Every structure is written in structure tokens, then in C-alpha cells.
Amino acid sequence: MIACAGLCSCNKEKLSERIYNQGINVIPAPEQIAQGSGTFVLDKDASIGISHDSLQPVVSFYAQKMRASTGFGLPQKEDGTIRLTIDKTVTGNEAYQLRVTEDGVEVRASSLRGLFYGMGTFLQLLPAEIESPECVDGVEWTAPEVEVTDSPRFPYRGLMLDVTRHFISVEGLKKHIDMLASIKINTLHLHLSDYQGWRVEIKKYPLLTEVGSRRIDEYGKEYSGYYTQDDIREIVEYARERFITIIPEIDVPGHSLAAIAAYPELSCTGEKYEVMSRWGRFPVVFCPGKEVMFEMLDGIFAEMCALFPGPYFHIGGDECPKEVWKTCPHCQKRIQEEGLWTDSKHSSVDKLQSYAIARCERILKKYGKRMIGWDEILEGGLAPDATVMSWRGEAGGIASALMDHDVIMTPASGGMYIDYYQGNSQAEPFAWGGYVPISKTYSYNPVPDTLVQMGKEQYIRGVQANAWAECMYTEDIVEYRVYPRILAVAEVGWTPLKNKDFADFSRRLNNAAVRMDCRGINYHIPVPEQPDYCRNHVAFTDSTVVQFSTSRPMKMVYTLDGTEPGLQSAVYTEPLVFRENGTIKIRSVLPSGRMGIVREVEVERQTFLPASAEEPEHEGLRLRFSPTRCLYVSEMADVKEWKDSILTSIEPIVKLRKNKYSGVEFYVAVADGYFYVPEDGIYEFSSNNTRITVGGRLAVDNDGKPQINSKYGRSLALCKGWHSIKVEQISNFIGGWNSQQRNDGAVRFRKYGEQAWKRITADQLKYN
């Protein structure tokens, strides 16, 4: 769907007067820009001139785009209205100069890449609808008079897409490439192998895709997908035409289960494993004690280096579980033969990993590639010419730069993990964790003061955002997480630090949003949140006030009658007061009229639930357990055989397969009894267990949902005293998440007005 074209054609208002087209809206902001008083008008008489036929690829690319949206012919003429010139006095491969006057447009650069970026800036000076793939009526195609001198702060500006956990189609990758090119991101890093899949065809080793690209999920369904070598050539060429380099990543020696599932001899034991259908680490890795590992990697690298012509090849190297190497006879023999002994700095297995990484680097050098790895490749000593991606904070990057190694900064702590939540977790679609609002991403400075003080800042080659796909189940969700935060990354990587201005960037995002509409991108729009603490269920006993705000100031519309809010709905201007039950549906609205996702908040008037008349007799909770696999609570009604026992506290309910029932992979459990409420009040509940019922009312419902970052809690008005409680737990995998991952088993509660959560402790539990 081309949202901008539909939006424009149905409105008689001149589109150039729309507020999002006012001002200069270039992202990333240029190094230098001076605005004059005049205006250039792109009309049907416009033409394009070039100084040499070698510029044809850039001219053809942009002429085609402008023809599609304007309907103008834009012929090539020697004295064209828009003129592109190679000028070797413009310093820098990506630098350009742009001059827009009332009489025409001139772009100068020393390279085709620079001209491409200069024309990209010119398009951002035009109304946002210039990005429409269909002709748009009623637009005055004007650009302000400006002079721009521009070049990037860093030569490397990247995005990593994890296509292993969840596959992205060829067409989906092209959509990303188009958008990245428009914001001067010049590198797309594809994470192509991991525990959960192998995503690139290797003709010498066909089982890598025949076996390694498939996994069976918790519902018994197959998940699969990979790129053929023809697909890769198509993607690489598409990116090359837009001056984007694609870096492949094959993760070694850890994160390698998909390859081992296809070729078991690659592991230390040679055991047969299946491709993982769940997230997290797995203690099976490549065996660097076996020469077959390096022989196979040589064959894999040979084919892949021919497919990816860029200078870099990423070998991962992160989160490698090395325990098995300590007892593997092959690894121990290698340690002895190579003299990889433990010293004061590194263990023998750390040195073995360093040995494996160095071997990989030598193989890649043979094929003309420079090796990149995550900062764990520092462990055991850094390979001679490796480039380090620092993701665990900046320490790895600083250490590498101090050893005169190139560094690409990509720290999760710096806002570069853009699969994290970008709004309050209670209001946003499910993610696995973390909180990275666009303001945090935008504020990151990739050059640590330490390196500046030591004169080593030149080793920071650039910045990259990473989008890991455990919780990004569809391509739409990938887009929702990546955009618009990658626009902030673009400005971090390109724009001089002194020119950055988040308030102005936020204004420019309104224009960029329409451009993303034209590209059909499902980007994030801030969701209305309660400013104190967000909840989707609000309980009260007399009256209550519900207030909303957004992470970037913007209009909100709402309804109270159950209908979906639209452009004609009431505008939120002040807190909403409730004395009876109600349902709020509220969403944000951009200046273009594009609306965000609907947030629904249930407001419920309650009477206080009375406590039990008598105190229960016994400490703890009654427990019913069955080694049965269920996906949903409703299926527990069909369980025939249960074992009864007692829990002294709630937390062990997620560890039952580690007691006398160890070895049971799946189970269901129900604990019930009473818990003590210390005083009258309205209480919220939170737990990553499957379902919690208090006083016969549902308090937490994670049924059928990944049991991490629970946001499905409800509020209850409770009198002081003992109230019945039931805790239901299904040990299973939902959405790839183990029900025990990130789940300590606790049930937490807090009274309205309190910030801190409290556990329901053992002394608050009893049963009859």
C-alpha cells in the first residue's frame, strides 16, 4: 500500500503547504548548509545534464524516481536544469557539494557515490511525496535555495539484520536497501548462520541448507528459508547500484548448531543434533581441534567470498561456550601442539578460540577479505588484522583501538540494539527486553573520550545498529523495530557532533515519515503512555484520572465508545476522568494524518474484595504436577494424572523438572492457597508464570504468550487479610522462548502509588 499517494490524491489542499514539508528536512543533517531566499521549481520543462556518460547510473536512478512521482519527462540535455559534475577538487569519496538556486541545481563530487548522495539530499529538499512510486497530483515540486558542502563523519555506517532467527525475503531486503540508501547508510550486515538456521546456499556442502535451514517450532510446524546463490547475486547487485556494501556473517566457533545439525563431524563429539527452535545459547560448538572444521570453512568462505565482493567478512566469534573444549581430546591435542597454555591473562580455551579466529582470518585473507568479529575475538589475543565490532559496551572497542585495530562501535548500552523496546513495554508490541527510545540512539557518540585523550580516535571507523530477530516474527515487525531509529543512527554516523539537534531531528522525522509511507514501511509511531507508570487495566473504587503523553510530542485522538479512533475522533487535550467503567482507545497522529497503533486501556470500577474470614492453617501452597505437555491452560482440563505435593514458596514452580521429576522436558503445575494482603488498597500484579488468579479474578494472563516481560497484569481492589491465589505454570516453548527463561517464578505486587514491586514471600502464603 502506498499510503502517501492515497493520502495526497483525496485532499485538494496543496501538498507543498503541508506542515511536514515546511523547512529543510534532510536526514542525516549535512556538514554545512546555507539557505538563501529563493526557491527552485521542478516543473515539466526540467531536464538533467551530466558532464560525462560514466555518470549515467546515478542519473538514471534518480530520473526514474522523479518521473514516477512527478510525471515529468526529465530528458537529458547538455545544459540541464539539474546538472551533475565530477569535480576532483571535492575531497572525499563520499563528499559532495550541492547548489540549488532559482535557475537550477548543481551537484559536484569526485565520485559517483558522492553524486548519489548529493542527489539524495536534493530529493530530501523537495516535498516528501517525491518518493511516491506513483504520480501524485497537486504538488508544487519546490526546493529551497541552498548551498551544501557535505561529507560523512565516519566511513562506516551500518545496519545488521538477523535473517537467521526470522528470515527476510529478497524483496524485503530490497525495501530495506532502498531506505538505507536514501539516508546514506552504506553497509548492510547480514547475520546468516546461528543455532536456529543456516540461510545461504553453499554448493559444496548442500546439507547446510537441506538440513540447516529448517527447524520445527513448538506447534510442530516447519520454519525454513534460505538465499540461493542467485538470490545473493541479485541482492548484492541491487545494493551495489545504491552504493551499499553487504557484509556476510557466518558465526564461528559458537552459534554454529545449524551447521553441526547438517554435518555432526564439525562438533567435538560428532553427536547428531537438530536445528534449535528456541532462543538462547546451546553448549555445542565447532571443534577447533579437528582439521575438518577449517577445511569446511575454507570451502564455505571460498564460495561466499565470490558472492560478496565487499572488502569485509564477519566471522562472529561471540558467546562461544568453551566448556566442552576442556575435555575434548581433539581440542586438548591442539592446545598441546600449538602451545596454547594458560597464562596470567588468558586460559588455554580462550587461546584456542583465538587460534581458531586467526585461522579463519588467514583463510579469508587468501580470498582477499578483511575479517570482522564481535568483541569476544579479543579473548585469548586479537588476530593480526581483525576489525572489532564492540557490542558489550565500549570497552572492547577501546581495547582494540589501543592496539591500533579498527573498530566499529555497536554497543547495546549506547542505543545501537534497535530490536529493544522503543516505548514503554506495557504499551508496545512484545519484544524480548531492553529500552532504547530514539532519543537514546540519537544521543550516542561513537568516539569515547578515552581514545580522544590518547590520540587513537582515528581507529573508530564507524557505527552500526543491530536488529536481532528472536522476537521479530514477521517482516512488518522488523520494520517497526528498525524504523525510524535507523534514521537516528544515520545522523550519528554522518553528521558532525556539533550539528546534531534532537528537537530539530524530531521535526524532520515528520517529513521522513511520509517518505517511509511512500515506500510502504511499517515504522514505529510513539504510542500514548501513562506518564507515571503504564498499565492496560486501571482499577478504581470511587473515581480515577487517566493521563497520556508520548515520547515525542504529538497529537493524540481517542474514543470511549469502543470504536476505533480516527482522524475525526476527539483530540486528547487533558486527563480523562472516570467514575464508571470505560474503555479508552487512543492513538497518536502524525502531521501527515498517519496514525499509530491503537492503545486500549480498560478502566474498571471495583468494590473491595473481602478477605477470608479465617486464617488458613498450613504454611505454603498445595501443588499439583503432571509431566504432560500443554500449550494452553485450557488443555490442562484434559490432564488425567497428577502428583500432589507442597510448595513452601512460589518461585520453585518454574524449577520442578529439576527436582525428583528431573528429565521431564515439559510439564504443567498448579499451586493454590492464600496470600496475605498487608493493607486495604488497589494492587497490581506481575509475573512471568502462565496465569495468576487472585480472589477468583484473573490477575496475570500470559497464556499462549512468551513468558518474559509480562505485561498482561490486572489490578484488583483488595481488603487487608488472606485472599485465595492460584498460580498456573506451563513449562513449554512459546514463540521460541523457554517458559523458564527470564522467569524467576516470582509473583510480584504493588499498591497503586508505589513505584517498587514486592515479591509474594513464603511468610505470606498459606493453605487449608
255 catalytic per annotation: yes
What nine digits make up the cell of 703? Answer: 497464556
Q: Please check whether residue 201 is in contact with residue 228, taking contact to mean a CB–CB distance below 8 angstroms.
A: yes
Give the closest residue to 268 by CA, choosing from 211, 197, 322: 322
* Amino acid sitting at position 411: P
- Which residues, listed in sequence order, are joined to residue 767 by a DSSP beta bridge? 618
Helices (H), 112-254: 112-125, 170-182, 207-210, 229-240
Catalytic pick among 255, 314, 346, 723: 255
Q: How far is CA 355 from the centre of its chain?
A: 32
Catalytic pick among 43, 319, 338, 614: 319
Neighbours of 396 (CB within 10 A): 23
Report how far residue 583's alpha carbon sits from residue 692's, in angstroms, rounded to the nearest whole number: 23
- Which residues, listed in sequence order, are joined to residue 589 by a DSSP beta bridge? 555, 595
Q: Please check whether residue 38 is in contact with residue 102, taking contact to mean a CB–CB distance below 8 angstroms.
A: yes
Helices (H), 483-603: 485-494, 502-518
Q: Please check whether residue 467 is in contact with residue 418, taking contact to mean a CB–CB distance below 8 angstroms.
A: yes
Helix, coil or strand: residue 173:
helix
Neighbours of 144 (CB within 10 A): 16
Residue 297: its H or E element = helix 291-307
Report how far residue 365's alpha carbon sits from residue 374's, in angstroms, rounded to the nearest whole number: 18
Residue 333: its H or E element = helix 329-338
Report how far residue 104's alpha carbon sits from residue 603's, in angstroms, rounded to the nearest whole number: 59
Q: Please check whether residue 125 is in contact with residue 65, taking contact to mean a CB–CB distance below 8 angstroms.
A: no
Report how far residue 619's alpha carbon sits from residue 190's, in angstroms, rounded to the nearest whole number: 54
Q: How far is CA 332 from the centre of its chain?
A: 39
Report how far residue 179's alpha carbon sits from residue 470's, in angstroms, rounded to the nearest whole number: 23
Residues 6+ apart with CB under 8 A from 698: 691, 692, 714
DSSP for 686-742 reads: EESSSEEEETTEEEEE-TTS-SSS---B-EEEE-SEEEEEEEEEEESEETTEETTTT
Neighbours of 192 (CB within 10 A): 24
Residue 397 sits at the vertex; the CA angle it makes with 391 and 399, to the nearest 5 degrees, is: 135
Please count the CA atoms within 13 angstroms of the CA of 158 that sit on its side-chain side.
Answer: 27
Give the closest residue to 544 by CA, choosing from 571, 584, 573: 584
Report how far residue 743's alpha carbon sits from residue 689's, in angstroms, rounded to the nearest whole number: 7
Strands (E), 429-581: 460-467, 537-540, 544-546, 555-559, 570-571, 576-578
Report how far residue 609's alpha carbon sits from residue 694's, in angstroms, rounded to the nearest whole number: 10
Give the closest residue to 766 by CA, choosing from 738, 729, 725, 717: 725
Report how far residue 705's alpha carbon sits from residue 591's, in angstroms, rounded to the nearest whole number: 35
Neighbours of 673 (CB within 10 A): 23
194 catalytic per annotation: yes
* Omega prior to 127 cis, within 30 of 0: no
Q: Please check whether residue 560 is in contact with residue 537, taking contact to mean a CB–CB distance below 8 angstroms.
A: no
Look up residue 281 and give its DSSP letter. Answer: -
Helix, coil or strand: residue 142:
strand
Q: Please check whether residue 124 is in contact with residue 27, taking contact to mean a CB–CB distance below 8 angstroms.
A: yes
Catalytic pick among 106, 150, 162, 194: 194
Catalytic residues: 194, 255, 319
